[in-house]
Structures are given as structure tokens and as C-alpha cells.
Amino acid sequence: MTRITLAQGDITRQSVDAIVNAANSSLLGGGGVDGAIHRRGGPAILADCRRLRASHYGKGLPTGQAVATTAGDLDARWVIHTVGPVHSQSLDRSELLASCYRESLRRADELGARTVAFPAISTGIYGWPMDDGARIAVETVRDADTAVEEVRFVLFDEQAYEAFARQLP
């Protein structure tokens, strides 16, 4: 059974085996949590991302998929980059958002990571409503078939923390 825990604060301050990044498909950095991870993690992460772009992911990482790099100077062994969907009023992209959590855990299992920190993927620049993002995150992790022992959702502000707390018993 995977334990789900919540923390409020900056995901780049967490000590875990793997930190998940809400990346964009270029893998070359961006704003929000992505910018924070590259800033604190240092240039080794970007160097790994460039290597991925030069090899397997020439066109970038597709939405809903996940890939791992070094965690550089972060207190973690790996960063798992995943690309959340941009929220849409007209299309239901929930399955792509669920895929981010599922594929990140699959990568974590491949690596042997036992503790994984997730941000609230897509709920920032990509505009996903926080309550729905929290529901999809918690349901997907709960239903995942994974050897990860702890999934820690790291929520930047109190409103996000409360949204996730409402999804837990």
C-alpha cells in the first residue's frame, strides 16, 4: 500500500528519492515549479534534459508521459519530468492528467524510488481548477499499481493544501 502524505511549501526543499517536475514538452525549462527545480537543482538537470532532446525525445516529451534525469543539487536522486495537459473548457483532458501521475510512478518503479514528491500538476500556468486537479491526483495515485511507499503531494499554498486534504479520509 502506498502512503499518501501532504506537505505545504516549496517542492525543491523536499528530501525524497524522486521529485516530480511539472515540465513543458521542450524539457528545457519554464516558469512555476519547473523554473524553481532548475534554479535550485543547478545545470546538471538541464544538461540531462538536453541529452534527452538530442536522443529519444527529439520532438520533446509528449503530454502525459514522464522521463527521469539526475536531481543535480536537490536533496533527491532523480527528477521525474512529466508534461501536464493545458486545461480546456471544451475537451476533457482528465485522462492525460491522470497519465502524468501514473507514468511518473512507473518511472519511479523503474528507478527503484520509494519516496516521491509531486506538485499539483497543471494547476498553475496550465490552468487546471485546483479541486479537480487534486481529485484526479489522489484518485490516480490511490489506484496505481506501484512499489512506491510514500507519495507526498507538496502544495505551494494553503488553498492547494486544503484542496488535497479534502480528498483524503
Residues with active-site annotation: 34
Specify the residue, 111 or 125, whose C-beta has the smaller distance to ligand ADP: 125
Assess contact for 51 and 150: CB atoms under 8 A: no
Among 33, 98, 108, 116, which residue interacts with ligand ADP (rule: CB under 6 A)? 33
Q: Is 104 in the site for ligand ADP (CB under 6 A)?
A: no
Specify the residue, 32 or 42, whose C-beta has the smaller distance to ligand ADP: 32
Assess contact for 29 and 46: CB atoms under 8 A: yes
Residue whose C-alpha is closest to residue 91's, from 141, 50, 128:
128
The least distance separating ligand ADP from the CB of residue 103, rounded to whole angstroms, comes to 14
What whole-number distance in Å separates Cα of residue 106 and Cα of residue 113?
A: 10
The least distance separating ligand ADP from the CB of residue 1, rounded to whole angstroms, comes to 25
What whole-number distance in Å separates Cα of residue 136 and Cα of residue 161?
A: 15
Residue whose C-alpha is closest to residue 76's, from 150, 155, 14, 147:
14
Specify the residue, 57 or 164, whose C-beta has the smaller distance to ligand ADP: 164
Query: Which residues of this chain interact with ligand ADP, rule CB under 6 A?
Result: 10-12, 22, 32-34, 36, 84, 119-126, 154, 156, 160
